[in-house]
Amino acid sequence: MPMNYPIVIGDISFESLQLFLAENFEGYQKIILCDENTEEASLMRIDFEGVPDLIGAETMTVPPGEESKSFAIVEQLVEAMLESGLTRKTLILNLGGGMVGDLGGFLASIYKRGIPFIQIPTSLLAMVDASVGSKTAINVGGIKNQAGVFSDPQGVFIYPGFLETLPERELKSGYAEMLKHALISDAEYWKTLTSRDWGQNEDWEALIRQSVDIKSAIVESDPLEKGPRKALNFGHTFGHALETLSHAAEKPLLHGEAIAFGIMLEAGLSQMHCGLSAQEYGEICEFISEHFGYLNPPKFAFESWVQIMRADKKNSSDKINFTLLTGIGAHEINREFEEAELQTVIDEFNAIDFSSEN
């Protein structure tokens, strides 16, 4: 099933955005949703003279961070929209990273039973992953993405110039999702990503396009995540658990950082049970340790990991479901494990002293 919305990538996105608004949303009220960081760093980068349809658009701003992906924030936003008299003829433009895209997409999907929205990602992670695929969700009980819907945006407009506003840590967080795309489907792309000099100026547009193409192809084959789309969850079963635990311990990791370590953990599981070679496993671990090990992720007891992973959306039995690698560039979905079978890989991860390696 092809994507039902355009994905525009490049420095002329604002011109394309204006044309899209003029052709499809004349007479609509426009709302720009952002967080405090993107309001300060990214909103000013929009050339409103080049996008006259956004002149006078109201801005709704939420605090940055995963805590804003909550029912409480959604309720506040709905109440504000009702007080402003916004009807179903309202368009929400989500300007921000993955949190804003998730929150704004979920908000749009439920306001008056659904209004249109557009994704304008400003982080690398949102550009290559979160803005593409029609998933919207909020967190519940401290666990990520437990309430949400599949809801298509009207369009995705990716402007790599926003990356100039990001610190290196945020760029690396997005890079982890690009590594995931390569590991599950494209060994040559993995070589490209792991051979580049991080300090060099990059043609981000070309790299973003490659990741978007990989994700789009997978999503088109399985829009509602019944089968092949589960490939995109590689690194996320352990990764989401680590992200949740790190926030609870007040030593928060960014999403992509947690996913990087989730990739390492699930690569270990892949070597034990799915045919990933020791050489390729070592290659993956070496790259993750070199580029993310400086974070020295907090260590948690086995039962703490399992408690979070029990809630993973892929699970359909009392076992925990994983997507694993059969090799770099190849994967296998629906590998299920008893909780006790996971202890070895978690114990090995907890035994790594990242501080001594960096």
Catalytic residue among 229, 230, 247, 331: 229
* 20 in Cβ contact with 155 (< 8 Å): yes
Has 240 been annotated as catalytic? yes
Catalytic residue among 144, 172, 181, 240: 240
Q: How many Å apart are CA 303 and CA 173, to the nearest integer?
A: 26
Has 303 been annotated as catalytic? no
Catalytic residue among 236, 243, 247, 331: 236
Has 255 been annotated as catalytic? yes
Has 291 been annotated as catalytic? no
Has 69 been annotated as catalytic? no
Q: How many Å apart are CA 202 and CA 234, to the nearest integer?
A: 26
Catalytic residue among 39, 170, 225, 266: 225
Angle of CA points 133, 200, 131, to nearest 5°: 10
Catalytic residue among 135, 144, 180, 209: 135
Q: How many Å apart are CA 53 and CA 47, to the nearest integer?
A: 11
Catalytic residue among 26, 113, 226, 303: 113
Name every residue whose Cβ is closer than 8 Å to that of residue 232 and which is 6 or more positions away in sequence. 129, 133, 180, 184, 215, 218, 219, 323
Has 229 been annotated as catalytic? yes
Neighbours of 275 (CB within 10 A): 14
Has 331 been annotated as catalytic? no
Catalytic residue among 39, 170, 177, 332: 177
Burial class (CB in 10 A: 0-12, 13-18, 19+), 228: middle
Has 113 been annotated as catalytic? yes
Catalytic residue among 30, 69, 255, 331: 255
Mind telling me the catalytic residues?
A: 113, 135, 177, 215, 225, 229, 233, 236, 240, 255
